[in-house]
Structure 1
């Protein structure tokens, strides 16, 4: 079967193995020494040099039984081939560094509640073992996390999938509970240890923005129970919501991890008892994309950070992929 012109041209392109062979012979000016260095037979080395000369259409060495020397063309090409070999060595070194997570960049989008404690803890330990890796964090709401992952603006996200989406895959990571935060001395202080949703809705509420995962979960819970609420204020940041509680504007509905996001001096909180208010936070990846070795190493650092946080706001959940 005859080869196409493109295939014929490809077969005539010098290979890196042939370039290595040329450089070795040019260094030793002996085929036997070069063959030993390359750990191949002398006939095989001769074939590689012949193929290189054929591909280039020029003679590179003058050869006889007593000596080998570079031709003028061989002298001219030597520095060019040395540069190619040097560049390839750099590529191989860089590839090895990336594979071993010795260099590179990992880009993450995460919920503010996660970036306030878990991510910094993971970064601190990761920096000790991977000092040349840059970690770039974007703290954004759940909706934006998914967009950034799908657009490949980040390597992965740490957040909550609010709606089914076949373009992403989610690995279980952590879970936290939704709580009511209130001023010290508030009537909720004398109620049961774990609150019912209707006990919270009896007071003016401070909620996070409509595109936040907590807001979505809370509204779904209210719809299931048919509960109406008085929304006193909204806040994009949990620290702002806590400040509003402190000012006496109402009761804030926030994840338990809000205690890591701002001062709760003078405030108290209780968990709200509603199964659908347990927030599951996962590692979000694009379904059609594989993790880089650097990203994989940082995911392991994240899991280690959660496991080392005893009695923390978050609980680790079994590492398994959820349904897309």
Structure 2
């Protein structure tokens, strides 16, 4: 009986990524390798399989009929290898006391350090590692085992992830002290939008615009559209317009010299959320940290000025 070919994770990742991107240079950039290394790995895989996976040209690569047929199996094998690696990582981490928490950059910088410092003060053997993660990937990193839990804004989660609302936080406006908005403690959105808005693109599109009435959303004048709320706050501090964020980032905004204005009509809420896995046993340290987050550090506070 002929033995099965011995694939490596690198070969399968190179093949699957090349099938997605269609260009070895882009694959190399994503996998932090050289284009020649990617080409060699795919050539090795083709040698093991005994058939060609790609038609190659100087500009792009395209799957052969055999490559298209093999792709679903390669994806399944890669998923199984990743799952095995994550299970092994869980076992090691339970043994040495490592807890991994995924969080978006602002939460990782503004909220988690205080939570972690308090948690490990009486648990010196525990290591809590923060995984900087985009908001849209928080649930996925918990579901696939990369993180023991995630802390961040509410988003639709995978069915194998439990979502717990810790506390609500309103979207508020931030501006420089000499901005005309600084004279107001409260403003309706329709009045606030007379001034240019510095928008944190993806969050603004997903969390703010859909909750504004169409006639108000249509009046938005964007001074800048950036990827990260920290950048938006910095531009607002430089007088480039006002920006908005959940009020739980008040500490960061005030350290940048910004002034808060509550936004009403409508009041748009955002929930600080804890994501934990369903159907996967957490380590005792991960369970303890989750309890610590629920009960100790993150009480019901909006961050809005009284």
Which range, TM-score by smaller chain? Answer: 0.5 to 0.7
Residues 207 and 169 (structure 1 numbering): CA distance in 2 closer, same or farther, change over 3 Å?
same
Residues 105 and 302 (structure 1 numbering): CA distance in 2 closer, same or farther, change over 3 Å?
same
Shift of 1:248: 2.0
Q: 1:164 and 1:147 mapped to 2: Cα distance? A: 8
Partner of 2:124: 131
Shift of 1:247: 2.2
Shift of 1:121: 1.3
1:227 lines up with 2:188 in the alignment: no
Counting only pairs closer than 5 Å after superposition, residues 1-324 of structure 1 correspond to structure 2 as 103-163=96-156, 165-191=158-184, 193-210=185-202, 212=203, 215-223=205-213, 226-228=216-218, 229-261=220-252, 264-274=255-265, 277-303=268-294, 304-307=296-299, 313=303
| TM-superposition CA deviations, 1:163-200 (whole Å, max 9, x none) | 36423220121222211111223222333x22211122
Residues 233 and 282 (structure 1 numbering): CA distance in 2 closer, same or farther, change over 3 Å?
same
Is the 8 Å Cα contact of residues 116 and 260 (structure 1) preserved in structure 2?
no
Secondary structure of the 2:217 match is coil
| TM-superposition CA deviations, 1:45-74 (whole Å, max 9, x none) | xxxxxxxxxxxxxxxxxxxxxxxxxxxxxx
Shift of 1:270: 1.1
Q: Which has the larger radius of gyration?
A: 1
- Which of 150-159 and 111-120 deviates more? 111-120
Shift of 1:275: 5.7
Is the 8 Å Cα contact of residues 164 and 275 (structure 2) preserved in structure 1?
yes
| TM-superposition CA deviations, 1:82-134 (whole Å, max 9, x none) | xxxxxxxxxxxxx9x95xxx951111111333223331112112212211111
Q: 2:103 and 2:265 mapped to 1: Cα distance? A: 25
| TM-superposition CA deviations, 1:207-231 (whole Å, max 9, x none) | 1131x3x542111122556422111
TM-score by length of 1: 0.58
| Aligned Cα root-mean-square deviation (Å) | 3.0
Secondary structure of the 1:173 match is strand
